[in-house]
Amino acid sequence: MHRDRFYTLSASCPDRVGIIARVSGFISEHGGWILESSFHSDPAIEGSEGRYFMRIEVKADSLPFALADFRECFRPIAEDLRMDWRLADSAVKKRVVILVSKQEHCLYDLMARWQSKELDIEIPCVISNHETLRGFVEWHGIPFHHVPIAADNKAEAYAEVQRLFEEAEGDTMVLARYMQILSADLCAAHPGRIINIHHSFLPSFVGAKPYHQAYQRGVKLIGATCHYVTADLDQGPIIEQDVIRIDHSDSPEDMVRYGKDIEKTVLARGLRFHLEDRVLVHGNKTVVFR
């Protein structure tokens, strides 16, 4: 990561000749210093047009304008290229709201990375459907909200989760082993902003108790998947995955223990990619510029 303040342009558009020339030419015309650039062309398949993806970091003080003016000046080019795009400022910390149930390992890991500044973020609050981790969270000086979930109050409970997220001015919601299925309304309200860690190598073993499913199937690899949350359970675009080898002597309990380590690292990597605007979503796939 650069020490200098920089702006990040992340964009995708229909593929055509001259995209890089238009964008880099605009930056160059204004004296912009490109610190890092990544590009990917996704070819046309089955009649669909190809798509082009890019991520460019520009040294902030090399430009004659601030971020808001950058947006306005760049907008005509983005409209002409039919871009989906966003601009981010490295000086503005992302606000991450964490949702958790009773299992603590992913929360502990994220909090340790936050406290050590490895994840340079703000955590405005933690939301849980249990009281179990209140003491740990509040010891760190972070507000803890208990929003219980039951069969007869789900609509009200998820409306409260959404209210708390918006009140906290959250940029990203992280389900750190939050063992509830979010409502379709909540998913639709924040597309591409809710991240989950699922304790299997998706698309295998969706839903509950994936390690027990893996044991019954006799697999030799188990894994974890960091993905965006959609209304379809465990079907959202995948950001990051990893696996660990097991054998016939491992019990479901062994798998759960092994899995905790890989869940933590996969969630941390996936969240970092997201926070650094390295993830571009295209349908149910992602392009991740590492």
The set of catalytic residues is 234
Contact 176, 110 (CB under 8 A): yes
Residue type, 210: P
Pairing status of strand 84-89 against strand 221-228: unpaired
Helix or strand (DSSP H, E) at 175: strand 172-175
Nearest-Å Rg of the Cα atoms of the chain is 21
DSSP codes, 21-60: HHHHHHHHHTT--EEEEEEEEE---TTPPPEEEEEEEEEG
* Per-residue CA distances from 247 to 79, 181, 196 (Å): 54, 31, 27
Distance CA 234, CA 229 (A): 7
